[in-house]
Structure 1
Amino acid sequence: MSSEFAKEAPFYRLKQRVRHALGPWGVFLQGFLKNPVMVGSIVPSSRFTINRVLSAVDWDNTKLFVEYGPGVGTFCQPVLDRLSRDGTLLVIDLNPDFIDYLQKTITDSRFIAVNGSAADVEEIIRAHGHEKADYIISGLPFSTLPPGVGPAIASATYRVLRKGGAFLVYQFTPRAGDFMAQFFKRIDKGLEWINVPPCFLFWGWKDED
């Protein structure tokens, strides 16, 4: 056992040095290599995508903003920069490495990071004292999720949103719209070319309770 550890230790130290040198890119790359099905892309979203997706948000009436699959926090600071002082940003990710990184690097008191599944969003936000979310954003790759997971997430998202809220989705294929259309009657669509690769955008609005 000790000999196996001795062989692995230098590799582990090298991996940690590389990760530290690359900063958030190193954490993001590690997460992608560990589970590409859940991360979806090796390149974080561009600032053009971020600004366009968030442009639909009514920040004056946003108390709880939720994000699925925050990765290394590409959207987190832009959301916090726009969020009111009494608002909350709650992010949910299955990858404990991402959650650990975010908890260490984001010290804003309005920020909560949870290691869990987006399909459990209702239970998660209630555990943190909320009944409804105003907006939920997701970059999870719906087209590559295990069977049944995409519809389960879309359904739970619709239920937990307040009336007038929206599900903001950015994807590299248009299939996310199919999952959303089962629950959201009104979906605005867009395409952001200044992204690697170009990104399909969806805003699913909850017009009814």
Structure 2
Amino acid sequence: MTSSELARENLSLKVKRRVKSMLGPWGIFFEGFLRHPVMVGSIIPSSRFTVIKMLSRVRWDECRLFVEYGPGVGTFCRPVLDRLRRDGQLIVIDTNPLFIDYLRQTISDSRFTAVLGSAADVEDIVRAHGHDHADYVLSGLPFSTLPDGVGPAIAAATHRVLRPGGAFLVYQFTARARDFMARHFTRIDSGFEWLNIMPSFLFWGWKDDAA
């Protein structure tokens, strides 16, 4: 590499760092999307309207463990922690080290744990952190673009890890996620949020109390 090529590369890196710094969390989220578009599924975080509506059905007084798949830059993390009981725990799972590093650096709440790993391994992750089950699991993972077999594996593992009466909360740009959920959850409530880029389908899959 010549000195002029090296200078151009250094300038490009400086520009990228400057842009990311100016954009803040959105810059981190956009970079994460560019690196792993199949796993992220969106170029910007969910709107506050989606967050509020998605979390509105959680019984926070009964929630000791809340799990999130694909937390990104923490769009849901902070609202969850704001609502979570003082002895509760939030575990987030993501395969993208960029997001996990960012969350570990920016969220200091003792109830918060960020895990680099796969949502399909949620049972092992939950047990490794001292729990037998989760009360609620939230996912914004793009089921329609996940590699073959991954979506069904995540849905099955989620159903197993939830306590009876718990729920799998899913928000998506398409309704396909419901097909994965319906194999395990007999009761699925549905909603829709227009005030999001893009508008989102919302699902709450409840685990049977008799399960």
Report TM bin, short chain: over 0.9
| Paired AA for residue 141 in structure 1 | P
TM-score (norm 1): 0.96
Q: Deviation at 1:153?
A: 0.2
Task: Give me the whole-angstrom Cα distance separating, in 2, the residues matched to 1:89 and 1:138.
Answer: 13
Residue 12 of structure 1, CA deviation: 2.4
Report the counterpart of residue 40 of structure 1 in structure 2.
41
Counterpart mapping for 1:126-141 below 5 A: 126-141=127-142
Identical amino acids, percent of aligned pairs: 70
Give matches, 1:55-204, under 5 Å. Answer: 55-204=56-205
- CA distance in structure 2 between the partners assigned to 1:20 and 1:100 by the alignment: 16
- Report the number of matched residues: 209
CA shift digits 1:49-73 (9 cap, x unpaired)? 1111101100000000000000000
Cα distance in 2 between the residues matched to 1:126 and 1:16: 38
Q: What letter corresponds to residue 107 of structure 1 in structure 2?
A: S
Q: How far has the Cα of 1:2 moved from its partner?
A: 9.4
Deviation at 1:75, TM superposition (A): 0.3
Q: Secondary structure at the match of 1:123?
A: helix
Backbone CA RMSD of aligned residues? 1.5
Change (3 A) 1:9 1:200: same
| Distance of 2:181 and 2:2 partners within structure 1 | 51
Q: Can you give the 5+ residue segments of structure 1 that lack an aligned partner in the other structure?
A: none
Instruction: Encode CA deviations 1:76-114: one digit per residue, 9 max, x unaligned.
Output: 000000000000010000000000000111111110000
Per-residue displacement from partner, 1:27-55 (whole Å, max 9, x unpaired)? 00001111111111112111111111101
Deviation readout 1:139-192 (Å, 9 max, x if unpaired): 000001011000000000000000100000000000000000011111011111
Kindly state the Cα deviation for residue 10 of structure 1 after the two structures are TM-superposed.
3.2
User: In structure 1, what is the equivalent of residue 55 of structure 2?
Assistant: 54
Measure the CA separation in 2 of the matches of 1:22 and 1:195.
19
Change (3 A) 1:59 1:12: same
What CA distance in whole angstroms lies between the structure 2 residues aligned with 1:109 and 1:199?
Answer: 31
Distance 1:2 1:151, change over 3 A: farther
Letter of the 2:175 counterpart: P
Helix, strand or coil for the counterpart of 2:192? strand
Structure 2-normalised TM-score?
0.95
Residue type matched to 1:14 in 2? V
Q: 1:155 to 1:2 in 2, by over 3 A?
A: farther
